[in-house]
Structure 1
Amino acid sequence: MEETTTLLSFKAGRVDFNPPSKTAYPLEAKGRITLSRYNDEETPLLSFVWEPRGPSKNDPAIKTEDFTIFPKEAEWVPVSTCSTGRAYVLKFNSSSQRIIFWMQESPDPSNSSTLTESDKKIAKRVNALLQDVHAPENDEDDAAEPTGDIEMSEGANGTSPAQDPQLVNLLRSITVPAADSVYGATNSGDASRVLNIFDVYSQNEMIAYASSLPEGHPTLACLYELLPEGVSHTRSELLDVLQSPQFSQGVDTFCTALRTGSDIGIGRIVARELGYEYKGEGMPGLIRGLAEQLRTEDSESNKADDDML
């Protein structure tokens, strides 16, 4: 696990959303949100972690939620329709993902449902870090951590919370042997027109590939290690993840960030994460880099076979 430096930490709980009634219900568990940056200065990604605190830490049913967020990918927005407490939505701009939280810092004694100045300062700092993990901190953004908790018993209207993106793990798991598909895109000159990884190697092809691997295959073992925490390392669970809307949404989010993040060098970061030679920004750079990696691996494999003859 990469080392991180904490930038901001504050108390907040999770909110459950009921789609039929369009009502959000605050969960009782006490929690904390921590925003951190990775100590690798070239990595502009933000670590956004919600974890239980107090007695809730010992409840096995309450899991830590860990999000890795690209610059400008999300916003921290107050829920204006919440009349019984102070709630915010982590809103992802590149997808429909919405995760709702309720503030557990000390409320205004005169009105526990009104956002406090501390809430607003925290929100300003969160949004600054979501824009740029290296955003400087100043007196206006500085939010000292108040003490105390609040309870919130009624729901608030909101939007559906997202599942854990697990974006870094998902993007790493995309590197499966799709040589023919990748070669086709690069050799035909179509790489510049590819907008999504699924345009080159479909979700169904990924599922078929994972299904075809024999038990004990090194690639299968590697894919198991990339499954979200708490998920059993079985082929059935792996296929469930690959078929899930969260996986598809995670790939879409990653591709959007790759296409729009060339100004901050996202392509170079992805190349380092996936272990291929950097071949430029955007989807063309990703495809050319992966294609070159696959050609190299094929050549080395063929040479090894020849040496054995």
Structure 2
Amino acid sequence: MTDPRIAFKAGRCFRRENTNFVDADPTKGAIVLQNGEDGLLHFTWKDRSTNNVVEDLILFPGEATLVKVDQSAWGRTYVLKFSSSNQRHFFWMQDADSSRDAEFVSNVNRLLTDPQMVPIWSAPGASTEPHASQSVPGMPGVQATPEQLAQMQQILASFAAQGGAQQPEISLVDILTPANLTPLFSSHPELVQALFPYLPPDLPTPPNEDTLRQIISSPQFRGAVRNFDQALRTGLLGGLVRGLGLPEEAGTGVEAFLRAIQDQARQEGSQDGGDRMDTD
């Protein structure tokens, strides 16, 4: 499977035999939509306690929709309906905050209509344009140098100091901004060459700093970062972060991901023998 396009907490519901009633299963789960290696859209349901995929539905554009069950007394039950059959899959929202239910469902239906569309999130910086590259959010295979990790650590530490305990939950969108990333390209020119193989193939060559600046300022990049941020919040990206040289625990949440980057920077710095210093 490729990187998730959208993921959110949801459990399954099952219809009572010979009735129109459905009962919620308490198992903690998540709905994940992602484009598979077969080039098709996969609608999967994962058990969050085991991280195992329990259901994997391959869907073609326009084949299914996720709609709210109006008859549900609780109000947070949804059904995946198919246009070509009477097949039904019922789910219930498990996030404690119900304010984003409609947003998640809307994005699911956008992808069910066109798997190449970028989900639209309510926060600033989201994109309504087609996804430019599936490889941008995770950039698997990129091995950061100790200097790059240390500088990212400084950025994260500065952000944490500004945020404090009373600030809203940390978001990657607030960290991976042009203001924070641009100095990395200037102070570490080798980063430009390292990132270019993971960017869209139709970019101008040879790679240069100006091109990367345009990318990180684009709606597509901001949308990709937000997608990755949302996927991290499901706690299901343990396998993906291993490709970044991070422990599997780093995929269990945004804060865990950021802490893992900081720990990696400290470890790399100690392995240098203490004779290397940041001069930025």
Q: Between Structure 1 and Structure 2, whose CA radius of gyration is higher? A: 1
Higher relative contact order (CA 8 A, sep 6+): 2
TM-score range for the pair, normalised by the shorter chain length:
0.3 to 0.5
Q: TM-score, normalised by structure 1?
A: 0.44
Q: TM-score, normalised by structure 2?
A: 0.48
